[in-house]
Structure 1
């Protein structure tokens, strides 16, 4: 055999070996622990739901799924890390509605919110609650709006960070109600509710994970839920739209990974995640937190996020909210 033919044969063997190695690695996935990261504080909505889902995935996949919180910048620190992770399916991220809001709110991000991610599946959908401390003078949302109109730039409301969905929900409420309030961002988790109960802020805009236990305990008063109609888990809290017609904000959580993850790995993750969402104990826990549990295809999630980005851009433009 001549040298050129010998080199060609060696290259062919190496290519075949590499292809078989890659195929074997995909078939063996996962062969080690998986990290499920999110961009908000411990004890918050993303963290609580991530831990429930991680437990189910660990059982289904037979490998540990470790939840890692990387709070900051409205979730964008974690998103940037996940976008730049190795394309092997071992770094997942629990994206929130804030992912689409940030894409609409910021002039530039260090990642493309759609193209730099491989979507896996949505997990849950939910509204927010506008609430005050139970001892607060406001009994209704109309009371809040009346004072905000009489005393502009005096009432404070919380969010889990600039560019988060809570932030935009507050800005949209201010715009549609014709008032001005002061936004007080935090890193998320239990920070906003602690600030409300401690008297550092006037108004809380947060998820059902955070607000529902406090509503049940009577420590806070729900002035409005951001869904179009009353929400199934807190029927006593009226929709914000009953006072501010046309107001509606919903959010979601879903799992993604970095782009270029092999398709067999994506398909397995989607299949197993949707199976997790159908597990009775997992589904019951998520619904008990007030969530609409809803999985879907990677394409469904991608289309939904693109649509949400466009929707929030329209909201920001219509409300005259300055981009960051």
Structure 2
């Protein structure tokens, strides 16, 4: 009987102590991993939002880039991390794309993560050099149809949303174009500016400075609607590819099994950050529509994205990586 009483008391004490630990979270720095090159879109979003979340939670947020393999290296790190809220993933649309494109991953795209909240949704821009002879996407597609080797397009890498956006364009337009992967947006833009590739698909934040400087010109936006900051640039759908719509996203994930109380603390801090005018303005400058969510809403969204890209990869016969 005494043993049973002691065990019951110990169990009760454990139950009492668990919330206390969650209430103390965080008591040390939090690390956000992102899977693309430092200075790129994912890196910028993580730093903007993480800096503001740190003010609410009272601990610094450290952003670390683990670039390569379409973001799967960073995702693997987080999936294998201790589920205590101190290791997060700044996931982008590439997270769902990788789940569709890679034949073997060290994690489950949805089940090995605890979603926290979406942060922002953004389109891609198709850009050429300012001195390019291509004045519209229609010009590019005409050249690609006439000569399958004429057009190559650069992206941030194999397995990125940029990559699948290009593959979907090829499929829907019936125009042959060669994909040239680089290690991040900065590298693909360097290749474009040096003339190594005639076209690049990239998020607005990666190309806006060069567009404003007169070095690059945007031919099209990938979303269903024109981008509010460049309303003069038509969508891909408007330029002979009806129904085309690719919009990427960014959000925070933790390892599966992270306590709900910790997830709620992180989500509350993220949503508070998204309400700060300076944060909203910065994300808007990156082409983003600020949109937070519940963990359940984010799980449904990522699951739907994964299903969509699996269908596209299969229908287009895109080789698995």
The normalised TM-score by structure 1 is 0.95
Partner of 1:188: 184
> What CA deviation, in whole Å up to 9, does each residue of 1:116-163 have, x standing for no partner?
000000000011001111112211111111111122134221111211
> What CA deviation, in whole Å up to 9, does each residue of 1:62-93 have, x standing for no partner?
10011111111000000011111101000011
Q: How does 1:55-204 map to 2 (within 5 A)?
A: 55-204=51-200
- Is the CA contact 2:203–2:286 (under 8 Å) kept in the aligned structure 1? no
Matched, 1:299 2:296: yes
- Is the CA contact 2:114–2:258 (under 8 Å) kept in the aligned structure 1? yes
- Is the CA contact 1:212–1:234 (under 8 Å) kept in the aligned structure 2? no
CA distance in 2, matches of 1:289, 1:98: 17
Matched, 1:252 2:221: no
Partner of 2:263: 266
> What CA deviation, in whole Å up to 9, does each residue of 1:28-69 have, x standing for no partner?
000110001100001100001110001111111110011111
- Decide which of 17, 21, 26 is 1:21's aligned counterpart: 17
In the TM superposition, residue 318 of structure 1 has moved relative to its aligned partner by 2.8
CA distance in 1, matches of 2:120, 2:144: 33
Q: Which runs of 5+ in 1 are unaligned?
A: none
Partner of 2:228: 232
SS, match of residue 173 in structure 1 = helix
Matched, 1:36 2:32: yes
Partner of 2:202: 206
SS, match of residue 247 in structure 1 = coil
The normalised TM-score by structure 2 is 0.96
In the TM superposition, residue 6 of structure 1 has moved relative to its aligned partner by 4.4
SS, match of residue 231 in structure 1 = coil
Matched, 1:312 2:291: no
CA distance in 2, matches of 1:299, 1:77: 25
Q: Which runs of 5+ in 2 are unaligned?
A: none
> What CA deviation, in whole Å up to 9, does each residue of 1:271-309 have, x standing for no partner?
111111011111121112221000010000000011111
Greater Cα shift, 90-99 or 242-251: 242-251
- Is the CA contact 1:95–1:254 (under 8 Å) kept in the aligned structure 2? yes
Partner of 2:272: 275
Matched, 1:285 2:292: no
CA distance in 2, matches of 1:6, 1:89: 37
Equivalences, count: 320
Partner of 1:221: 217
CA distance in 1, matches of 2:88, 2:155: 24
CA distance in 2, matches of 1:320, 1:153: 19
